[in-house]
Amino acid sequence: MNITVSITSTSPSRHLPVVEFGRSADGLLVARVGDTAFAMVPTRQGRHFLATGLRLSLPLETWRRDDFYGHSGDVADEAAFRALVAENAEHQRERAALGRREVGSRVHTPWGASRGATIYGEGVLCHTTAGHGGFELAPEQNDRVHLLLRSSSGFYEEDAEWAAVAQALPELFTGYERRLADEALRNHWPEAWEAIHGRSLQPGESREQDRQIFECQHAGDWIAISAVISDRFPGFVETTATPGGQRGSGVDRRRFLIPSAEYEPGLFGFVIDPTRHRDLTNGDD
């Protein structure tokens, strides 16, 4: 790997994170793990999501909802919240034990000039740039990446492609990171995941594969691509639908009326039933 770096930090923190739980000033279940703060924030229909914040140094009971800005997905209940916090604590402990080092770097990357990097291991750097970032692997490390996932350049962006690096070099990543990498591979590259693991993914295990199946099954159906609560028909939703959920200019569009209690778009769109859902396209109102 042809780079020039200057080391700015040479050893991991010796201080492992302490886990704290409590209630915020506005009654949220909250927790702190090292510099990371968590809150279980209620949403509609009794659901909750995991909110995150950084470096909240005041006591937990003084925190408020506005102190949190990150959204880290749904959380079912208090037990699930505590499990996620415990997982993060273990992640931080494992990361400290891995001994990653922050370095200075001015390497050119596909995302611009590097503003610094983290050394994960020999021949494995993770760059930060002004707008994006990702991994750079030396040739010998890049050879360990599965052929279906391998980048000829040795660069892997940080949003999803990083999962190929974690899959190939699991000893350099925490258990939490390996779980996220496996999830990313299933959802973005299901065929590669199946080749690596030697088995077929089942329905619900891969969002991308489920999307492909949905689109194949409903290619000839009208799929709602947008919806608004109807002002003219109380208790109904007015939708715009296209064949197979297609988008773009020149695509045929129709408007259908759906009972509000029935309308649930799901992951890939709501399937219109023309025999039951009223067609408003020709001004039938």
Are residues 125 and 135 in contact, defined by beta-carbon separation less than 8 angstroms? yes
Q: Is residue 249 assigned to a domain?
A: yes
Confidence of residue 73 (pLDDT cuts 50, 70, 90): confident
Structure tokens at 74: 């749904």
Q: Say if residue 138 is in the same domain as residue 63.
A: no
In sequence order, which residues have a C-beta less than 8 Å from that of residue 4 and are 6 or more positions away?
A: 105, 106, 107
Q: Say if residue 72 is in the same domain as residue 28.
A: yes
Q: Say if residue 92 is in the same domain as residue 158.
A: no
Structure tokens at 133: 């970032």
Task: Single out the residue in 55, 83, 98 at which a domain terminates.
Answer: 98
Task: Single out the residue in 98, 127, 149 at which a domain terminates.
Answer: 98
Other CB atoms within 10 A of residue 21 CB: 14
Q: Is residue 6 assigned to a domain?
A: no
Q: Say if residue 81 is in the same domain as residue 109.
A: no
Confidence of residue 5 (pLDDT cuts 50, 70, 90): very low
Q: Say if residue 94 is in the same domain as residue 114.
A: no
Q: Which domain holds residue 46?
A: 19-98
Q: Is residue 250 assigned to a domain?
A: yes
DSSP assignment letter at 14: S
Dihedral angle computed from the Cα positions of residues 179, 182, 184 and 186, in that order, rounded to the nearest 10 degrees: -140
Q: Say if residue 234 is in the same domain as residue 146.
A: no
Q: Is residue 225 assigned to a domain?
A: yes
Q: Is residue 261 assigned to a domain?
A: yes
Q: Is residue 131 assigned to a domain?
A: yes
**Per-residue model confidence as pLDDT tens digits over 45-55:** 789 999 999 99
Task: Single out the residue in 69, 98, 127 at which a domain terminates.
Answer: 98
Report the phi/psi class of residue 235: left, alpha or beta, with left for phi > 0 and alpha for psi in -120 to 50.
left
Chain-centre distance for alpha carbon 190: 16
The whole-model pTM stands at 0.74
**Per-residue model confidence as pLDDT tens digits over 29-72:** 999 999 999 999 998 778 999 999 999 999 999 999 999 998 88
Which 3-state string (H, E, C) describes 173-214?
CCHHHHHHHHHHHHHHCHHHHHHHHCCCCCCCCCHHHHHHHH
Q: Is residue 208 assigned to a domain?
A: no
Helix (H, G, I), strand (E, B) or coil at 249: coil
Q: Say if residue 170 is in the same domain as residue 226.
A: no
**Per-residue model confidence as pLDDT tens digits over 147-186:** 999 999 999 999 999 999 999 999 999 999 999 999 999 9
Q: Say if residue 87 is in the same domain as residue 133.
A: no
Are residues 76 and 46 in contact, defined by beta-carbon separation less than 8 angstroms? no
The span from the CA of 252 to the CA of 225, in Å, is 12
Q: For the chain, what is the domain count?
A: 3
Q: Is residue 233 assigned to a domain?
A: yes
Q: Say if residue 118 is in the same domain as residue 90.
A: no
DSSP assignment letter at 149: T
**Please, which residues bridge with residue 205 across strands?**
none
